[in-house]
Structure formats: C-alpha cells, structure tokens
Amino acid sequence: MHWDHTTNSTNISPKIRQIIEKIKNYNPKRLDVKGLIPSAVLIPILSSGSIVFIKRNMKVKDHKGQIAFPGGMIEDSDNDPVTTALREAYEEINLPKEKVRVLGLIDDAVSIAGYIIHPVVGLIEYSNIEFKPNEGEVEKILIVKIEDIIGARYNESEGDLKCGFYINDIVIWGATGRILKNFLEITGLRRFDS
C-alpha cells in the first residue's frame, strides 16, 4: 500500500496540530501489574489526517483476525517502549523509524491475552512511504480517516472490556478499542459519556 502525501509544518491541519500539542504535553498513566507480558504499539498518525491500523492474520499466536495498531512484545534488546513500537512498525508494515516523529506516550492498557501495552503516538509527515504488510503477521493494512473515527458508532458493554468502534465494515474493539478511546479523549477529539 503506497501513501503519497507531502506535508510541512505550514499545511498541517488544526486536528493534527491539536494531537501534537495534547500528546507532547501529556503525562501518561503507567500501570504496575506483575505477571503481564510487556509490549508496545505505535499509533501511526498520518499528517494527512488518518491513522494506520493493521488486521492481524490467522497465523499469529494472539489476537487472530483483529484490527490493531502495529506492535508487539518488548524484547531484551529494546531500550524502551518507543524502541519496541518503532521496531514492530517496521517489521509489520515496513514503516522506517526515521519516518516517524514520536510525539509521546499515552496511558498503558491491559489485554485479556495477558499483555501490558505501552501506546506510543507517532506522526508521519513524509511522502512516498511504501506500507507493506508482513505476511507472517499481517493480513492487511488499513488507513482510516480521523474524521471517520470521530464520527464512528461506539458501543460499550461490560465496562471498557468490550468497547468497540464501528467504521463501515471495520470493527475496532478490545485493547485496541480502549487505546483508541483513550487517545481520542486525551487529544480532545471526542468525548465519551461515562
């Protein structure tokens, strides 16, 4: 999947500017939960106003067929969650770390599969990026407009555990849904009834 968009700081939309300001000034809540597998995901924000998601294939150990952010387990060689998120984004969708401007982290999340997830928000301001799914893990790459996410139907049952965003034929639920909801609230892009 080819994404061809040229941008500079003068043509960034107000929504992207809002994301940049809110994330760079945010102090994320860290969870200290023993026994969970440390992991990190990248929330890749395209400066054109979209977010990149992946659909996991049926070959992966956990989260088969689910819509997710690029990410995975923190390895011993990773210095921090940012290193993990950037490494995994390169492995899963061929996104070079040099093309990502890390804005910051948001609150940790926990998955029912036993992972503690550190979400990293990154802005992609470069043109001519050739996204390519790693066939061993990713069925396809999805680029979803932020406007469509803001306007998506949202359901929540059993608390936050089964929250879901319904965008056309895409359902974003589980840990990814909770991370996305938290991202939207932190950035002020959407409010949710408590």
pLDDT in tens, 64-107: 568 999 999 999 999 999 999 999 999 999 999 999 999 999 99
Q: What is the pairing mode between strands 170-173 and 164-167?
A: antiparallel
Relative to beta strand 71-73, strand 37-46 is antiparallel
pLDDT of residue 32: 86
- Give the separation between CA 3 and CA 14, rounded to whole angstroms: 21
Q: CB–CB of 164/177 below 8 Å?
A: yes
Strand partners, 50: 46, 145
Break the chain into its structural domains and give their ranges. Answer: 2-145
The token pair that represents 52 in the structure block: 């990149």
Fold of 2-145: Nucleoside Triphosphate Pyrophosphohydrolase (3.90.79)
Q: According to the model, what pLDDT value does residue 106 have?
A: 98
Give 91 or 7, the one with higher predicted confidence: 91
Query: What is the signed CA dihedral for 185, 189, 191, 192, rounded to 10 degrees?
Result: -70
Q: How many CB atoms lie within 10 A of CB 59?
A: 11
Report the 10 Å Cβ neighbour count for 148.
15
82 HSE (CA, 13 A, CB side): 11
User: Residue 10, SS3?
Assistant: helix
pTM: 0.90
Q: So what's the pLDDT on residue 10? A: 55
Rounded to whole angstroms, how far apart are CA atoms 154 and 170?
12
Mean pLDDT, rounded, for 25-49: 94
3-state secondary structure of 55: strand
Percent of the chain with pLDDT over 90: 68
Q: Would you say residue 11 has pLDDT above 80?
A: no
